[in-house]
Amino acid sequence: MRFSPELEQGRLLIRYKRFLADIETASGEKLTIHCPNTGSMFNCMAPGGRIWFSRSNDPKRKLPGTWEISETPQGRFACVNTGRANHLVEEALLAGVITELNGFTALKREVAYGQENSRVDFRLDYSSGPAFVEVKSVTLGFDDSRIAAFPDAVTQRGARHLRELASLAREGVRAVLLYCVNLTGIDAVRPAEEIDPAYAAALSDAVAAGVQVLVYGVQLTPDEVRIDRRLEVHLAPST
């Protein structure tokens, strides 16, 4: 996926009210732009750090741009626009990059399912039956470690999705959790038990129920982002 329009570079002044960020462009222009990330973005940004954003000329928009990429304090690139993850995964599915999920005959997005009124990101249909695929965007990295973690903030919604997937798996339906690691320099993902122990416990329960966990990493530059390789999952907390 190439970024279109072409991204502009700036530096972060402050992120606030979760969805707002004040930045300064390379030309010295001060802007308030949209931050499309509901998490804490812990270890993903620093005041004065480089960022890249997409600019919009739509007169109906309240804000002139959207924050897309951050250079982390560890010197990595992170795609902080969580809305990109599903597009990246769909692109990779259709291209056959996610080999464990190849062979489907139909792909449906945002399908209602489960006992807790959830919506799954993808339903893939196979001759043997459907597979339900939930996608999570991972951007939390740490100093001197090539192991990322999820989540970066307490997520009751994420735990609910795991319960829904586990219920499907117990019924014999293929259920898949796919971590899309939108962070460079990473080889594996683990649950962030130190941030959300309830999520980590729900993940263990889901795996025990038969939920399949896949982890894929991206190639990320200010010009392009695409899923390009499978990574490892570490279900036990990293020490």
Identical fold at 8-79 and 84-233?
A: no
Query: Which CATH number applies to 84-233: 3.40.1350.60, 3.40.50.300, 3.30.930.10, 3.40.640.10?
Result: 3.40.1350.60
| Those residues with Cβ within 8 angstroms of residue 236's Cβ, 6 or more apart along the chain or in another chain | 190
Length of the chain: 239
pLDDT of residue 238: 45
pLDDT of residue 5: 87
- Mean pLDDT (the chain, rounded): 96
For 15, half-sphere exposure in the C-beta direction (CA atoms, 13 angstrom radius) is 24
Smallest Cα–Cα separation from 206: which of 180, 175, 173? 175
Where exactly are the structural domains of the chain? 8-79, 84-233
Q: What is the pTM of this model?
A: 0.95
3-state secondary structure of 2: strand
pLDDT of residue 50: 97
pLDDT of residue 60: 87
Alpha-carbon distance of 126 to 102, in angstroms, equals 9
Residue 40 exposed, middle or buried by CB count within 10 Å (0-12, 13-18, 19+) = middle
Residue 7 exposed, middle or buried by CB count within 10 Å (0-12, 13-18, 19+) = buried
**Regions of the chain short of the pLDDT cut 70:** 236-239
- From residue 236, give the alpha-carbon distance in Å to each of 24, 155, 190, 207: 41, 19, 7, 12
The CATH code of the domain at 8-79 is 2.40.50.580
